[in-house]
Amino acid sequence: MTPAANLLLKSLIGALMVLLIALLSRTRNYYIAGLLPLFPTFALMAHVIVGTERGTAELRATIVFGMWAVLPYLAYLGSLYWLVGRLRLFPALGGALAVWCLAAAVLVLAWNRR
């Protein structure tokens, strides 16, 4: 597959995920839209790329880092849960994104020091 076709395929998969989230958010089971971003679409892509371009040791390190990467997402969800009870939606989302960025930066710094 050419690099352009590979990029196009990844873009289409991302667009499909956004479409599915939008459609699910309008259903009776709207909460499932919160599960769909956790489908490992992008993790699969990352694992294929690292696994084919780098090797098993680097893939295993990427997998372990991915396990730790759940922590910034939990920080985002926890802060958003708290903030939506106190702020309007978009300021709450901005605050939660800032918390995610901070937690992700701490994770990367800690990972690089190991």
Distance between CA atoms of 39 and 79, rounded to whole angstroms? 22
Q: In the structure, what pLDDT confidence band is assigned to residue 28 with cuts at 50, 70 and 90? A: very high
66-86 average pLDDT score: 97
Report pTM. 0.80
Residue 69, CA distances (Å) to 65, 73, 85, 103, 108 in order: 6, 7, 26, 9, 9
Percent of the chain surpassing pLDDT 90 = 73
The reported pLDDT for the residue numbered 88 is 98
56-85 average pLDDT score: 97
Residue 60, CA distances (Å) to 26, 51, 67, 71, 80 in order: 38, 9, 11, 18, 31
Q: In the structure, what pLDDT confidence band is assigned to residue 78 with cuts at 50, 70 and 90? A: very high
